Structure 1
């Protein structure tokens, strides 16, 4: 079984947002250093990212998502609204 490391988005010590400071190419060993902000979608929680992927794969059908997730349509709608609010909050801080 292969385990992939999850990209941390918050500091394990103080919970502040982490920034990317180095990118590396495995092929030619080139490294790029700087201070880069994570893309907006990567700053969402794993659960939020999985919800967005499911939303996309269901062609935006909340009804279909509710059936697949075995939860009510209003619960799915509320989850979507929460993610939208979180994304809007992240956009304000950019």
Structure 2
């Protein structure tokens, strides 16, 4: 599956969605819509959030599954929370 581009390959600005279409009836919606915060995160950051969700927020379990220390997982979570806060402020 191809990753959704979120950064302009020309100027490196954030991309917006300009068209959505229905594969069933071919209806199209045009506009200039910002990407949801989750989609503005890297694939690695999205995977971390999914794993956090699937472990019911257990950082101890995540550390065990990832083979890294609990403090490392905690730091990654804190960094990700800060990044999400910054992305939300941009909108």
SS in structure 2 of the partner of residue 51 of structure 1: helix
Deviations along 1:4-46, one digit per CA (max 9) or x if unpaired, are 1110111111110000000011111111110001111111111
Please give the secondary structure, in 1, of the residue aligned with 2:32: strand
Structure 2 residues not aligned, in runs of 5+: none
Unaligned runs of 5+ residues in structure 1 are none
- Normalised by the size of structure 1, how large is the TM-score? 0.94
The structural deviation recorded for 1:50 is: 0.4
TM-score, length basis structure 2: 0.97
Deviations 1:49-93 (A, max 9, x none): 100000000000000000000000011011101100100101111
Q: Does 1:32 align with 2:32?
A: no
User: Which of 50, 55, 69 is the matching residue for 1:53?
Assistant: 50
In structure 1, distance between residues paired with 2:25 and 2:89: 37
